[in-house]
Amino acid sequence: MAKYVYDSKKGTFVRRFSSLGRVVRSVVEFLVAMLLSAVAFYAVFALAFSTDREKLLEREHALLDSEYQSLNSRLDLLDGVVGDLQVRDREIYHDLFSADPPNYIIEAQDTLLRGGELEEMPEEDLVWDAYALIKRIESTALQVSASLADIDTVLAREGRAPTALPSIVPIADFSPRQTGASVGRKINPFYKTVREHTGLDLVAPVGTIVRCSADGKVTQVIKSAKGMGNQVVVEHPGGFRTVYAHLDKTGVSVGQSVRQGAALGTVGQTGSCFAPCLHYEVLRDGIRQDPVNYFFAELSPATYREMMIVALTTGQSMD
């Protein structure tokens, strides 16, 4: 390749040929410049404009982030409720049996049984680990049996049976969705003011059977169109008293002995009641208790936890 350059000595343009190396270098420089220009152009375009795919990914990311924050909030709430349940359970156990509850947690951190490692474990390690875990469970079962025996002994010494404790939900076929407001400061549905709520509301259709929550004797049967409406009051061993209000019909009389689970009447809407429900109260030695804390005889842990969450977060009572 030739090019012309000015020769000052001759005062004219002379023809000069380029070397091959210089040509190659020029081509390479041109290609590099073009490549850098293309990269810079793409970077500017990508920053200024989003493709449909990128927009979709951004929306999905925002949605996932929102869901993550929501799940974290719910997890924090559940952690708080579980911790509160543990404290309440210890208090109730101590009040009933004058002792701290035993700890039955099975410590299995030292075992080899982990889901992702089972296929890689030697057979002899797997057999030995299973044997160790079984022995630990057997030991825990013996502790539970001993504790149950101690409870029976305490109840027998005080002349009480397990069914003398108000430990079942007074409505059969109970669902956590039937839980209303429990004890505490709640909004009255009629006056829309905050008042002290003295029991637990259990929502159910009119005519639903109301069960006695423990063995005892009927001390009051009240017929009224005001306040708590028709009521049944039952005294139980150990200083317990339970109240069943807003009944439609009553099926017991004063002085009658009743067993745990016996029918006392039916759910109604008598008195000052916003909708058909059972207003249920538990008192011990005249001190008002939260009935939710005593439903440990027939509810699963999951149902009990769900019921507790609803009772704690419901801000308006039914009466």
User: Which secondary structure element, helix H or strand E, spans residue 114, and what is its range?
Assistant: none
Reported as a pLDDT band with limits 50, 70 and 90, residue 212 is very high
Which is more confident, 281 or 163?
A: 281
Under 8 Å between Cβ of 230 and 189: no
pLDDT digits (tens, 9 = 90+) for 214-236: 999 999 999 999 999 999 999 99
Buried b (16+ CB within 10 A) or exposed e, 109-137: eeebeeeeeeeeeeeeeeeebeeeeeeee
The CA distance from 100 to 106, in Å, is 18
Q: Is the pLDDT of residue 96 over 60?
A: no
Would you state the pLDDT for residue 46? 65
Q: What is the pLDDT of residues 123-168, one digit of tens each?
A: 777 777 777 778 777 777 777 677 667 766 766 676 667 788 898 9
Q: For the chain, give the percent of residues with pLDDT over 90.
A: 34
pLDDT band at 107 (very low <50, low <70, confident <90, very high): very low
If you search the block for the tokens 């006695």, which residue do you land on?
A: 212
Task: Select the more confidently predicted residue: 101 or 242.
Answer: 242
Q: DSSP string spanning 222-291?
A: E--SSTT-EEEEEEEGGGEEEEEEEEEEE---TT-EE-TT-EEEEEB--SS-SSSEEEEEEEETTEEE-G
Percent of the chain with pLDDT over 70: 71
pLDDT of residue 247: 97
28/17: higher pLDDT: 28
First to last CA, the chain: 103
What is the average per-residue pLDDT within 50-69? Answer: 76
What's the farthest any 2 CA atoms get from each other in the chain?
Answer: 140
* For residue 285, pLDDT beyond 50: yes
Determine the average pLDDT of the residues in 99-115.
50
pLDDT at 94: 61
What span, in angstroms and rounded, lies between the C-alpha atoms of 243 and 260? 14
- pLDDT for residue 261 is more than 60: yes
